[in-house]
């Protein structure tokens, strides 16, 4: 067990996630006591203690510098105790490329950035270069957008053929929710109509549309037709650069549904295998075969889809680097236009997180965290090499809490096939207006405001407006969801 004591709750988030990154198999307990003489204390598994004293942190009132000093001290103590380095250093946030883009916009060159990132955040040179290169590609792609008057639209469909054991998204199996789908679509279209009217009155320019979930193609052909027709009716395509639909699960894809998508001008789809190993598909609850993945992919190609993304997850239960190599060989034969490589992240809301004893990560199955880290690293390297072999280049990157091996998720794409929406959701350069249960709207403001509820007067130019996750609550409270957006959206 690891025990953390903090003198202030501002230290709790980063210290917890740094400790978990160094000790993924340990239970980490925390407490906050303002009466502590010290600022921070960690008790390691062998009972030894490391302390950060008051004189070890800056005396000024800048909270960020105080947190930074504690993070660096904890990192160095854990590094000395374990003999390990973390490739991303002290970073616990999901958007390391955002830092790289900010430095590029300030005029910093690559060599200076790699040196600064290593000294400031203890990030390895390899990850610093990766972040810099991706930020450069993102910056070039986003140069086509109007940040002030442009916006993106997210539409959430919270239904799936079955719920995968690693999934923590707000989605439910279609068999359980089939009697509610029509009601859900009705209120979803009401929300979309309101967004479209508001955007039209303010002269806003729609740049990207992303329909995700869940699995949007869980809807019937007729339901997809009605939803897409509603979007066609409510929004202008004059400034549209990208229109994505997640067709994720092959057991939800039919020729008829793909034809509906083509008829409505969808430019990009995702067909996401996660793995091509049948034993793993069965274990994680995906009710389809590896062969069906290939059949769905080639069906989409035959109907004219020329921008198809595929997702893979490294670290699924029981898989080895050899399994990943076999999966990549099959993916390479299909030749997707983009490939997103995820490192498994287990969240408490996921079934896998709740049943770790039977379906845990490869760390628990292997019983050796060091061996797991080596195996996972080999999987990641294999995937990155395969992406290069397919002529795909890294174009966006993000990290997650509880991500296996302290790695990252990277999207690779052909030069002209990068997912613009994926970049926007990470870099937060443009407002993203979201409709549907569990969706999150991000509104970029012209001027900073004090964060609602902030005890220390922290300011922000980004406001988040969340829709309720529960499907029934969303259906009955749709007017509330609309009013929430109306308080902030293009007033």
Asked if 443 contacts 491 with a C-beta cutoff of 8 angstroms, the reply is no
What confidence tens digit (pLDDT) does each residue in 112-125 have? 999 999 999 999 99
pLDDT above 50: residue 229: yes
pLDDT above 80: residue 71: yes
What confidence tens digit (pLDDT) does each residue in 384-406 have? 999 999 999 999 999 987 776 67
pTM of the entire predicted model: 0.90
| pLDDT range class, residue 314, cuts 50, 70, 90 | very high
Report the alpha-carbon distance of residue 116 to residue 392 in Å, rounded: 28
Closest by CA to 153, choosing from 229, 243, 75, is 243
**Lowest mean pLDDT across 26-40, 240-254, 367-381:** 367-381
Sign of the torsion angle spanned by Cα atoms 68, 73, 78, 79:
positive
| pLDDT range class, residue 24, cuts 50, 70, 90 | confident
Question: What residues are paired with 466 via a beta bridge?
Answer: 440
Looking only at Cα atoms, what is the longest distance across the chain?
69
Report the alpha-carbon distance of residue 71 to residue 461 in Å, rounded: 26
Of 455 and 215, more confident: 215
132 is written with which tokens? 């810099």
pLDDT above 80: residue 373: no
- Phi, then psi, of 408 in degrees rounded to 5: -150, 170
Residue carrying the six token digits 């997702």: 311
What confidence tens digit (pLDDT) does each residue in 326-344 have? 999 999 999 999 999 998 8
């Amino acid at each position: 067990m690891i025990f953390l004591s903090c003198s202030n709750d501002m230290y709790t988030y980063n210290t917890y996630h740094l400790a978990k990154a160094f000790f993924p198999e340990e239970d980490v307990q925390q407490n906050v006591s303002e009466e502590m003489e010290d600022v921070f204390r960690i008790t390691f598994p062998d009972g030894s203690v490391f302390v950060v004293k008051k004189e070890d942190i800056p005396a000024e009132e800048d909270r960020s510098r105080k947190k930074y000093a504690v993070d660096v001290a904890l990192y160095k103590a854990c590094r000395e105790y374990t003999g390990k380095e973390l490739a991303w250093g002290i970073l616990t946030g999901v958007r390391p490329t955002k830092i790289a883009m900010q430095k590029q916009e300030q005029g910093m060159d690559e060599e200076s950035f790699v040196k600064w990132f290593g000294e400031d955040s203890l990030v390895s040179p390899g990850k610093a270069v990766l972040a810099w290169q991706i930020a450069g590609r993102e910056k070039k792609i986003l140069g086509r957008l109007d940040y002030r008057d442009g916006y993106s639209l997210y539409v959430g469909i919270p239904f799936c053929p079955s719920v995968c054991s690693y999934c923590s998204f707000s989605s439910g199996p279609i068999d359980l929710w089939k009697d509610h789908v029509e009601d859900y679509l009705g209120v979803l279209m009401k929300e979309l109509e309101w967004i479209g009217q508001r955007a039209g009155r303010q002269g806003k320019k729609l740049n990207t549309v992303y329909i995700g979930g869940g699995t949007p193609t869980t809807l019937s052909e007729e339901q997809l037709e009605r939803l897409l027709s509603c979007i066609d009716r409510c929004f202008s395509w004059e400034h549209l650069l990208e229109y994505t639909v997640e067709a994720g699960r092959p057991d939800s894809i039919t020729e008829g549904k793909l034809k509906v998508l083509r008829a409505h001008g969808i430019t990009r789809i995702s067909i996401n295998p996660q793995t091509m190993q049948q034993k793993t598909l069965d274990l994680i609850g995906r009710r389809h075969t590896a062969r069906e993945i290939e059949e769905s992919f080639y069906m989409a190609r035959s109907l004219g889809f020329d921008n198809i993304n595929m997702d893979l997850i490294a670290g699924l239960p029981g898989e080895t680097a050899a399994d990943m190599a076999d999966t990549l060989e099959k993916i390479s034969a299909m030749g997707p236009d983009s490939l997103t490589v995820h490192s498994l992240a287990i969240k408490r809301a996921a079934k896998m997180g709740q049943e770790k004893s039977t379906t845990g990560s490869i760390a628990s199955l292997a019983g050796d965290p060091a061996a797991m880290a080596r195996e996972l690293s080999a999987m990641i390297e294999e995937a990155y090499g395969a992406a290069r072999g397919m002529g795909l280049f890294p174009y966006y990157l993000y990290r997650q809490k509880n991500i296996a091996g302290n790695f990252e998720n990277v999207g690779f794409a052909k030069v002209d096939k990068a997912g613009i929406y994926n970049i926007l959701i990470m870099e937060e350069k443009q407002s993203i207006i979201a409709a549907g249960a569990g969706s999150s709207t991000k509104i970029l403001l012209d001027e900073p405001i004090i964060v609602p509820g902030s005890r220390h007067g922290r300011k922000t130019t980004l406001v988040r407006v969340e829709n309720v996750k529960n499907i029934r609550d969303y259906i009955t409270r749709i007017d509330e969801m609309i009013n929430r957006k109306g308080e902030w959206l293009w007033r």
